[in-house]
Structure formats: structure tokens, C-alpha cells
Amino acid sequence: MDVVGFLVSWITLFSIYSILSISLNLEAGYTGISNFGKAAFYGIGAFFAAVISLSAFLMLNGLSYPLYSLETIISMGTLSKQNPILSILIFLFTVVLAFFVSGIAGYMVSYPTLRVGPAFLGITVLSFGELLRIFLRNFQPTGGTYGLAGIPHPFAFIQDPAVKDFMFMLVTLVILAIMYIFSEKFVNSPYGRIMKSIREDEIASLCLGKDVPKIKAQVLFIGSGMAGVAGALLAYYMGSINPDIFVPSLTFEVWAMVILGGLANNKGALLGAGIITFLNRASVILNFTFQNLPIDVNYIRWMIVGLLIVASLLFKPEGLIPEDPKSSFIWNFVEEKEPISLKKRMEETSKKVKFYIKKVFDWFAMGGG
């Protein structure tokens, strides 16, 4: 078995899913928005990146093939290797733009629903995802059920596939680090404290003059944008995407990561993503080694994901790494006490000892009663 290849693919997938789980943690963990449509925004990012990069390559080379065709896939194989700087530039450009496109989609979907309670938001966003998936399955310009293929890899000019994957893993890790640091700073800012106050009590924060629907919509913009970046990375990593990747089950996989790791804790989101993506990769390998099982190993993996959600809600609702109420750095100033000197501490101790000795003598003086 190729251990290095396994690790590289696991870490790449881990970084992509961690971006997703961190973004869901911003929404569900910190702000209390029940977003069940993560897969929709993930898919928007992926399809956007695929369409833009394919059409950019076709346009710059003066070709006019349809996006989903054999000619496109074949020509992409040679075109993507010609100009390293161009392919990396297009990669960065689409990843940044995917953030805004998915974010705007999230903002627009959230607009009518934020005012009507968590259940309706969940339903609407979930059905929005299913709607997009069914639409893309029947929409021929993006390939229908086959999806898009031949998405030019940003490091296609590197000959060795192992080095190519390793470079891509480094890029995803860098993007994950940016997202992680951003969300840590974000939730510990004054804005983050407003988010937490909305989660704890919407009415109270409304009464304090916070525009609750607006803040929720802004958080959804950021969260959906992060999901879009993850989707764009997935599109470049896989090289081909189809609408059936973005099923609702994928959303619940992300929910399982966040709940298992611990809501409102970015480290927990990373831990959950690590566990679930390990299951994901392991099931791929198991499927490959045992060909003749009566059940697809993927079914068992999904069942485990469902069980993990229910079991962690039942037995460990705070998650593996619970939320640290003092994680925000303002607490360091509030809770900090004056350092006590050794002399003062010894004085206090001797005072206590004298007090107890006096008490014992008094007891004897009273005649033991």
C-alpha cells in the first residue's frame, strides 16, 4: 500500500473538509444558524471554478468547444501544461472569486428566511441545495448528470504526479491556515461576541440594538464563501465534478464533524474533520481491497456518520473538545489577578494555622464539649 499517497490524499481532503467544518462552525456553533445547505454552496463554488477555468482556457486559446465534450477534455490535457504562470493565476483568481459568488448566493438565500426561525431556514436552505442538484442534473450546458471533466490542474506542468499532489496539498494547507486564523480572530473580535450573544438569546441582543437578521446574513455570507472556496479546491483536486457529489448527506457529514469535534470550537472542527475524512479515505481503500462484499462499504460509512451525530448528541453534546468560554483574549484582562508575593502567602498561611490552633485550645478549655 502506498502510505505516502494515502497521507497526501487524506491531508488534502482533510484541509478541504476542515474549511467546510470551520465555516459551519462559524454559522452553527457561534451564531446558532442551522444551515443544512452546506453542500449547495460547496457545489456552487465547485461548479463556478470549473466553468470559469475551463472557459478561460478555451477562450484564451481561441477554441469554441462546448464545456462538456471530449475535445475539451483532450485539449485541456495539453493546454494546462503550456503556461505554468497562467494556470496558477487562473487557479488563484477562481478560488478568490468562488468565495464571493458562493457568499452572495448564501446572502440572497438567507434574506427571506432569516426572519422566520431556525426550522424554516434549515428547510429552505436544504431544499435550495436539492433544487440546485436536480437542476444541474438536467442542465445540459454543464454536462447534465456527467458533470464537467478535464478541469486544468494548477500544477499540471509538473511531470511527477506525486509531486503534483504534494504541491496541491501544500496549497490547500496554506488556504486552511488562512481560514483558521481568520475565523479565530473573527470569533474573538467584538463582532464574534455579538454572534455568540445572538446564539444565546436572540431577543436580548435585539433589545441591545443589534440588527440580528443582518448579522446572521453577514455570517452566512462569510460561511458560504468559505464553503465556495472549499468547493473550488475540490474541483481542482478531483479534476472532474458532477452534481451527485453534492447530495444532502455531504452536509450531514460536515455537521457530524462539527458536532463530534465540539460546537463553537475551531480546534474541535479540525479534529472532527480529521476523524470523518479518515473514515472516508479508509472506506475507499476497503472498497478497493474487498471487491466482493454484499454491501458497499460507503453505506456503512454513512451509517456510522449518522450514528455519530445521534450518539454525540445523546452522550457528549458538548463534543470532544468543548467550547472554552474564556478562549477570547479579553478574558485574560478580566480574570487576571495580582500576583501574590511569597511573603504575603506565608503570612496568610501562618494566620490560618494560628486560628486553628487557637480553636483546638479553646475546645480543650471548654472541657471537650
Partner 1 sequence: MNLIDLGVVINTLWIGLIYSLMAIPLTISYKVTRVLNFAHTSLVTVGAYVAVILSLVYPDFFSNVFVALIAAFFAGAIVAILNHKFVYRKLMDKEASPVILMIASLGSWIFLKYLIYSVISIVSKVIKKDLYFAVPAFRYTLNLNFLGISNPSLTYSLILGISLIVLTFVVFYRTSFGKAMRAVSDNPQLAQISGISDESVMTLTWFLCGGLAAISGVFWAMFSYASPEFADSLILQVFAACVIGGISSIALTILGGFVIAGAENILMSILYNLIGLDLSFRPFLSFLTLLIVILVRPPAGAAGGLPYRLKFKRERKWT
Q: Specify the residue, 71 or 211, whose C-beta has the smaller distance to partner 1.
A: 211
**Using CB under 8 A, which of the segments 83-91, 161-169, 246-254, 264-272 binds partner 1?**
246-254
Q: Report, in Å, the least distance between residue 218 CB and partner 1.
A: 17
As measured in angstroms, the least distance from the Cβ of 148 to partner 1 is: 16
* Binding-residue pattern over the window 326 to 345 for partner 1, x denoting contact by CB under 8 A: --------------------
Part of the chain binding partner 1 (CB under 8 A), chosen from 8-16, 38-46, 60-68, 313-321: 313-321
Three-state secondary structure string covering the chain: CCHHHHHHHHHHHHHHHHHHHHHHHHHHHHHCCCCCCHHHHHHHHHHHHHHHHHHHHHHHCCCCCCCCCHHHHHHHHHHHHHCHHHHHHHHHHHHHHHHHHHHHHHHHHHHHHHHHCHHHHHHHHHHHHHHHHHHHHHCHHHCHHHCECCCCCCCCCCCCHHHHHHHHHHHHHHHHHHHHHHHHHHHCCHHHHHHHHHHHCHHHHHHCCCCHHHHHHHHHHHHHHHHHHHHHHHHHHHCCECHHHCCHHHHHHHHHHHHHHCCCCHHHHHHHHHHHHHHHHHHHHHHHHCCCCCCCHHHHHHHHHHHHHHHHHHHCCCCCCCCCCCCCCHHHHHHCCCCCCHHHHHHHHHHHHHHHHHHHHHHHHCCCC
| Binder among 278, 288, 299, 331 for partner 1 (CB under 8 A) | 299
Nearest approach in angstroms of CB 330 to partner 1 is 27
Judged by CB under 8 A, which of 112, 177, 344, 347 binds partner 1? Answer: 112
CB 116 to partner 1: min, Å: 4
Q: According to the binding rule CB under 8 A, does residue 246 interact with partner 1?
A: no
**Judged by CB under 8 A, how many residues of this single chain contact partner 1?**
50
Q: How far is the CB of 123 from partner 1 (least distance, A)?
A: 5
- The residue range among 128-136, 157-165, 179-187, 338-346 that interacts with partner 1, by the rule CB under 8 A, is 128-136
Shortest Å distance, C-beta 253 to partner 1: 8
Per CB under 8 A, residues contacting partner 1 are 32, 34, 36, 112-113, 115-120, 122-124, 126-128, 130-131, 134-135, 137-139, 202-203, 206, 212, 248-249, 252, 255-256, 259, 294-296, 299-300, 302-303, 305-310, 313-314, 317
